[in-house]
Structure 1
């Protein structure tokens, strides 16, 4: 029996020295846990196009997608989540609401490990924090 792989993308949206973190609504899978906003790649869609579309749908804002920050595959609830997170910049104003999240907060990169993250996001967070310049 093969395990289903779900390919998703996330945006690490930067504003100065901070990034946008989003907490999943309680009625969603991984409710109450933090994540980078994003979603599933649709058939025939590039990762960058999917990320731009998902951010527009979820947050109502436009972004410019940059370089790949980190990618990991995490076993979760009988399937594999292949998550690729990209650095991104807002094209205009910051989002004020989200269709999937009950809380959004700008946080310094060095403080990301202090949140309770969705399991698929944890290895991404670890990579980002490891890559930070040592103080």
Structure 2
């Protein structure tokens, strides 16, 4: 699995899983599954197009979170990401999208695999992108 920590200035996009979805009501960084023929970065760009209708630039890996979904072990690699075009107006998998300050990541009910990424960001990790 891959996730996007989408940054806009000093804010980060967070998403709440919609009712009827696995992990409904929990907050997460948007993303999804890596298909066999894809790199993690290709998968993340595809998932964000499908889920949010967003075109993005994928930056450096932040870290890996781990958790479970039922009896499956999940590994979530999260990348710094920034929008290349319009901001997403909605999501196919989420009932809320919010731009929040880094400190506002605290106090949300996060999906398990996202928790270590939130902690890394709160510990001061800074967005990193390749030079253009």
What is the TM-score normalised by the length of structure 2?
0.91
The residue number in structure 2 matching 1:22 is 15
Corresponding residue SS for 2:112 = coil
User: What is the RMSD of the two structures over their aligned residues, measured on CA atoms?
Assistant: 1.3
CA distance in 2, matches of 1:50, 1:60: 14
Corresponding residue SS for 1:43 = coil
1:1-135 map, 5 Å = 8-131=1-124
Give unmatched runs, 5+ long, in structure 2: 127-132
Corresponding residue SS for 2:16 = strand
The residue number in structure 2 matching 1:3 is none
CA distance in 1, matches of 2:46, 2:33: 10
CA-CA distance at 1:131 after TM superposition: 2.5
Corresponding residue SS for 1:58 = helix
Corresponding residue SS for 1:122 = helix
CA distance in 2, matches of 1:75, 1:97: 26
1:23 touches 1:103 (CA, 8 Å); kept in 2?
A: yes
Between Structure 1 and Structure 2, whose CA radius of gyration is higher? 1
CA distance in 1, matches of 2:9, 2:68: 33
CA distance in 1, matches of 2:84, 2:97: 18
Pairs aligned (count): 126
What is the TM-score normalised by the length of structure 1?
0.89
> More displaced, 78-87 or 122-131?
122-131
Q: Which runs of structure 1 show a deviation greater than 6 angstroms over 4 or more consecutive aligned residues?
A: none
1:25 touches 1:32 (CA, 8 Å); kept in 2?
A: yes
